[in-house]
Amino acid sequence: MTDDSDEAIWLRVLSGDSHAYGQIWRRHHERVFRHHLRCGTPAPEAEDLTAATFLELWRRRDAVRFVDASLLPWLIVTAHNVARNAGRARRRYQRFLASLPPPAPIPDHADDIADREDARLSAMREALAAARPADARLLVMTAVEGFTIREAAPVLGLSESAAKMRLSRLRTSLRAVMPQHPLTEGGS
């Protein structure tokens, strides 16, 4: 009859049996993983900590202690210490990040590219920002969306003549902002 205790398997590990370490891993890795999970560690991090625990087992292979010929108690204590060390490292890293000055704001280069690509869009944004909200809606419907004044006026609750008058005044005031881009009815 063979002795299949952890202590007997570990003696084979120390004598160079590469498969014996795999036996210890298969026997205890799920229990160590569950220990990390029970301590509140998220699963992906618990996997890493389990691997670190078994790395520590290999690193300290000459100093492991057995309880009733089992490595599990030593592994659980080591898992707890590995998790504490990882927590301390994470807190140090967070303190370090908190001590750094905040990054300088970086303007979105996409805005510059969009403005360079379409000068009319940029001028339109300026014009809409300067106009009254009701006039801006009328301008968008006629100059951008391509509706005629006749189509846009009833949607906005205006008579056709009132819409023409508002749009005429708005066009006059906007020529100063965007003289090279006339705003025409129907979006053309």
Q: Cα-Cα-Cα-Cα dihedral of 73, 79, 81, 87, to 10°?
A: -160
Strand-pairing partners, residue 70, are 67
With a cut of 80, say whether residue 130 has pLDDT above it.
no
Selected residue with higher pLDDT from 178 and 139: 139
* CATH architecture assignment, domain 109-187: Orthogonal Bundle (1.10)
Give the residue range(s) of CATH 1.10.10.10 domains in the chain. Answer: 109-187
Distance CA 37, CA 44 (A): 10
Q: What pTM does this model have?
A: 0.54
CATH class for domain 6-99? mainly alpha
Distance CA 66, CA 51 (A): 20
Distance CA 147, CA 139 (A): 10
Give the residue range(s) of CATH 1.10.1740.10 domains in the chain. Answer: 6-99
What is the pLDDT confidence band of residue 96, given thresholds at 50, 70 and 90?
very high
Q: Lowest-pLDDT range, 14-23, 36-45, 130-139, 149-158?
A: 130-139
Helix axes 109-117, 119-130, angle to 10 degrees: 100
pLDDT given for residue 125 in this prediction: 72
Distance CA 71, CA 28 (A): 8
CB 22 within 8 A of CB 32: no
Q: Tell me the two tokens of residue 89.
A: 């490292």
Residue 148, C-beta contacts closer than 8 angstroms, at least 6 positions apart:
142, 185, 186
With a cut of 70, say whether residue 115 has pLDDT above it.
no
pLDDT given for residue 1 in this prediction: 42
Among 134, 172, 169, 171, residue whose Cα is nearest residue 153 = 134
